[in-house]
Amino acid sequence: MNEQSPINGKITVIGIGEDGYDGLGNIARQILESASIIFGGKRHIAMLPGSNIATQNSWITPFDANMPLIEECLDQNPVILASGDPMFFGIGNTLVNYFGAKSITVIPHPSSISLAAARLGWALADCDIITLHGRAPEILRSHLRPRGKLIALSSDASTPALVAVMLCEAGFDQSRMTICERLGGTQERITTQTAKTWQGTATSMPDVKPIDPLNLIMIDLIAGPKATILGNGPGLPDNAFIHDGMITKSEIRAQTIASLTPWRDAMLWDLGAGCGSISIEWMRAGGRAIAIERDVKRCDIIRKNAIRLGTPDLIIRHQGIEDILAETLPTATSEQDPDAIFIGGGITTPGLLDHCWVLLPPHGRLVANTVTLEGEEELLRFYNKNGGTLSRLSVSRLVPRGNFKGWSNLAPVTHYVGVKV
């Protein structure tokens, strides 16, 4: 084994492209030539030269079942073949999470995303990049914006048609979709049409050459006159949500999200979620969320809103406040522990505020709203004990009054913000 090979007990992950074995660098080839055991997809294994005598193992389903098999072979320094850059929406992340970064050596290949950007002359720093492989495709809806550039890794050959339908439904039918297939190989194909044309092609032109399952979609977003533009900042219009009246109003919601201070991948618990507006806006700002609601009909509304507004990964729990107090809600993993908690209902439940405070980590945020005197009394008690800020939010909206217009006052909201130290 040469000096570039991994040390004993290490896993080497080699990215490989459509140009196959010939496109690999010298170090990657040397490692493959000296490997005793190799894991990879059937397509990647087939790219190896016939002279390779290593034991070759194709992935089994489900993918997580491969981890123990790799673990059993650690003393043989297993080599793993992966598509493109394994650390960019690839299996490298899964392996690092399971084995730890110190056990992994990665030799990347140009990803299909990098190749596509090079073909079209797109600056990757200016693009939103998402994967629809194994994900709910509705996440695309949260990335729609005028003049945006979006790169989406497809799940299979049907993904471009599905994306075209969603773009047309959202009023982005003139957006230019470029489908890039098998980039870097002899069967590379790049085709550009509008979303409206792609949608028609999928239904009315069966003689068109089928899309290859190995494709990605470059979308130059163009908002048409019927498009509804929804930003990722707080305070979406109330009519963006389906609701039965149980909704934190737009102006109050904007302040509530600002007080919660979302950041990427932070976890929010939204207690008494109503129609899910707080959870959904938190996720549109980059976080993750669990919406907890005792009313089963409202849970269904939350689910519909999450799909409509591009946050299909919102976790919905049909549970009540008493479940929180009994600690039956959380968490299969620490990834679901809260970084922030919002209480929109049930504030007067004995012990709720104190229990939520205990659940939060250092720097965690507790935000609560109430419109009742009893809720205000509970927030004042908690404020006197733990500090924070307590404020009253008042909003007036202009409404018709006969032939004239006047101001209508919404119920004032008592707003608590606490940051745990």
Task: Say which CATH topology domain 238-419 has.
Answer: Rossmann fold (3.40.50)
* Tokens read off for 200: 């028609």
Residue 158 is predicted with a pLDDT of: 93
pLDDT digits (tens, 9 = 90+) for 304-356: 999 999 999 999 999 988 877 776 455 444 568 999 999 998 899 999 999 99
Least Cα distance to 240 among 196, 204, 269, 277 occurs for 277
Least Cα distance to 126 among 218, 194, 232, 263 occurs for 218
The ranges of the chain annotated as CATH 3.30.950.10 are 114-220
Residue 333 is predicted with a pLDDT of: 46
The ranges of the chain annotated as CATH 3.40.50.150 are 238-419
Query: What is the second-level CATH architecture of the domain 114-220?
Result: 2-Layer Sandwich (3.30)
Residue 199 is predicted with a pLDDT of: 79
Residue 182 is predicted with a pLDDT of: 96
CATH code of the domain made up of 11-110:
3.40.1010.10
Residue 5 is predicted with a pLDDT of: 38
The ranges of the chain annotated as CATH 3.40.1010.10 are 11-110
Residue 172 is predicted with a pLDDT of: 97
Alpha carbon 150 to its chain's center: 14
pTM over 0.85: yes
Residue 207 is predicted with a pLDDT of: 54
Report CA dihedral (94, 99, 104, 109) to the nearest 10 degrees: -10
The per-residue DSSP string of 51-117 comes to: T--SEEEE--SSGGGHHHHHHTTGGG--EEEEES-TTSSSHHHHHHHHH-GGGEEEE----HHHHHH
- Cβ atoms of residues 108 and 17 within 8 Å: no
| Regions of the chain short of the pLDDT cut 50 | 1-8, 203-205, 328, 331-333
- Cβ atoms of residues 140 and 166 within 8 Å: yes
